[in-house]
Amino acid sequence: MRLLYLYPEEWTGRRAREVHTLATCVALARAGTEVVLVTAGGLAALRHHVRDVAQAEQVPKLELVALSRSLGPVRSAAIFKHHFHRWLRRQPKFDRAYIIHLKAAAMLVRDHVIPYAFEAHEIFAQTPQKNAARQKRLHELERQVLCGAALRVATSKALAVALSTWYAMPKNFVIVPNAGGEALERGIGAAEGPFVYSGSIADWKGLEVVVQAAREARVPLKIVGGTNEEWRELGRRVDTSGIAWQGRVALAELPQALAGARAGLVPTNPGTPSGAYSCPMKLFDYARCGLPVIVTALPSLQSLEVGPWCTQVTSPTRAAWSEALGNFRYQPERAELAREWSGQHTWAKRAELLRAAFNR
């Protein structure tokens, strides 16, 4: 199979969706699929990111293409679409395309439509827009993209049910959750270590709640992620004194940054549009390192069959999180269960599920 993965954004090497996209492409290529990943620029950052995610300079069967979306000082999706169509006309036939962006669907037309698989991570139309007209256009665009997909993928059963209900369409989504790297040979946790949060420090991630809860429960907390400016901005919103902080690290260096922690934290707020159906990669990152996890009770967890190593906090509030942190006790046997569970939720396993769906 020759697969076009169309990612119509400039690659930065810093976004969670880029890790998701690249890890999926690498795993599919290593499983035997010929994958062409097309982005709207950022080729140097993309190549550097491949080295981090794949631990290799190049991946056989994975081709990287970056097309400009700029014309002088002007940058737009229309410019990228023009360059993409010119490039596409020179390419051998693709069997299928794969997209996670709504705007990518309309770009997959040349002399004919390339059948595409659309992977849903959220309900875009639930994101508030500036006015009713924009909200309606977003709703219609998402409906068109879902209806036009040859294959519909969702990262959780809860999301698939919600989308099917929201758009009154058949419940024929294929459920393919997020994933993580291969499990480490042994766990890296420690009973007396700090609780650790790794990832974006954007406000919808629930980090402010965890910082306040850790102080209230009088437990140590370490945060890994963000830049100096983002950390200063967080400090302007909430008191971060006494919190250990380490800036964003490469994926390969994450186990070292997490070493000695007692549990990994996922305080995603399901009350936000982006958090409602989130299937957080942090969960898999912690588990592969043999760390127990404390996570807000997200709908996506219902698809993952998490065990007793995963403590679900019923409410994304400071009080609920303070209680969870204060009551937590590190148990080595549960930490080992997390590491074992992660072995069934790797990017390679994810590629197997996708290839099976492609071949139906």
Q: Are 301 and 353 contained in the same domain? A: no
Q: Are 33 and 71 contained in the same domain? A: yes
User: If you search the block for the tokens 């942090």, which residue do you land on?
Assistant: 282
Q: Is residue 175 part of a domain?
A: yes
Number of domains, the chain: 2
251 vs 135: CA distance, rounded Å: 36
Question: Cα angle vertex 265, ends 122, 331, to 5°?
Answer: 130
Other beta carbons within 10 angstroms of residue 225's beta carbon come to 22
Q: Is residue 64 part of a domain?
A: yes
What was the pLDDT predicted at 75? 85
What was the pLDDT predicted at 72? 79
Contacts of 168 by beta carbon, 8 Å cutoff, 6+ apart: none
Q: Are 168 and 44 contained in the same domain? A: yes
Q: Is residue 187 part of a domain?
A: no
User: If you search the block for the tokens 């937590």, which residue do you land on?
Assistant: 328
- Class of residue 132 by CB neighbours under 10 A (exposed 0-12, middle 13-18, buried 19+): exposed
Q: Are 22 and 169 contained in the same domain? A: yes
Q: What is the pLDDT along the chain (360 residues), one digit of tens a residue?
A: 999 999 999 999 989 999 999 999 999 999 999 999 999 999 999 999 999 999 999 999 999 999 998 887 888 999 999 999 999 999 999 999 999 999 999 898 755 679 999 999 999 999 999 999 999 999 999 999 999 999 999 999 999 999 999 999 999 999 999 999 999 999 999 999 999 999 988 666 789 999 999 999 999 999 999 999 999 999 999 999 999 999 999 999 999 999 999 999 999 999 888 889 999 999 999 999 999 999 999 999 998 999 999 999 999 999 999 999 999 999 999 999 999 999 999 999 999 999 999 998
Contacts of 44 by beta carbon, 8 Å cutoff, 6+ apart: none
Coil, helix or strand at residue 64: strand
Report the DSSP beta bridge partners of residue 6. Answer: 38
Q: Is residue 133 part of a domain?
A: yes
What domain range includes position 233?
195-342
Q: Is residue 302 part of a domain?
A: yes
Q: Are 28 and 92 contained in the same domain? A: yes
Q: Are 69 and 209 contained in the same domain? A: no
156 vs 233: CA distance, rounded Å: 32
What was the pLDDT predicted at 204? 60
Residues 75, 69: contact at Cβ < 8 Å?
yes
Nearest of 336, 351, 348, 223 to residue 288 by alpha carbon: 336
- Class of residue 57 by CB neighbours under 10 A (exposed 0-12, middle 13-18, buried 19+): exposed
| DSSP calls for 97-138 | EEESSHHHHTT-BSSSBPPEEEEESS-GGGS--SSHHHHHHH
Q: Are 172 and 212 contained in the same domain? A: no
Nearest of 288, 259, 255 to residue 181 by alpha carbon: 288
Q: Are 173 and 282 contained in the same domain? A: no
Q: Are 131 and 232 contained in the same domain? A: no
The per-residue b/e assignment along 232-265, b for 16 or more CB within 10 angstroms, e otherwise, is eebeeeeebeebebbebbebeebbebbeebbbbb
C-alpha of 123 from chain center? 15
Q: Is residue 185 part of a domain?
A: no
- Both tokens assigned to 286: 């912690």
User: If you search the block for the tokens 């976004």, which residue do you land on?
Assistant: 15
Q: Are 212 and 105 contained in the same domain? A: no
Q: Is residue 109 part of a domain?
A: yes
Residues 204, 272: contact at Cβ < 8 Å?
yes
What was the pLDDT predicted at 238? 92
Q: Is residue 188 part of a domain?
A: no
Nearest of 105, 108, 81 to residue 93 by alpha carbon: 108
CATH of the domain at 91: 3.40.50.2000
Q: Are 84 and 98 contained in the same domain? A: yes
Residues 146, 89: contact at Cβ < 8 Å?
no
C-alpha of 275 from chain center? 11
Q: Are 153 and 216 contained in the same domain? A: no
- pTM to 2 decimal places: 0.94
Coil, helix or strand at residue 282: helix
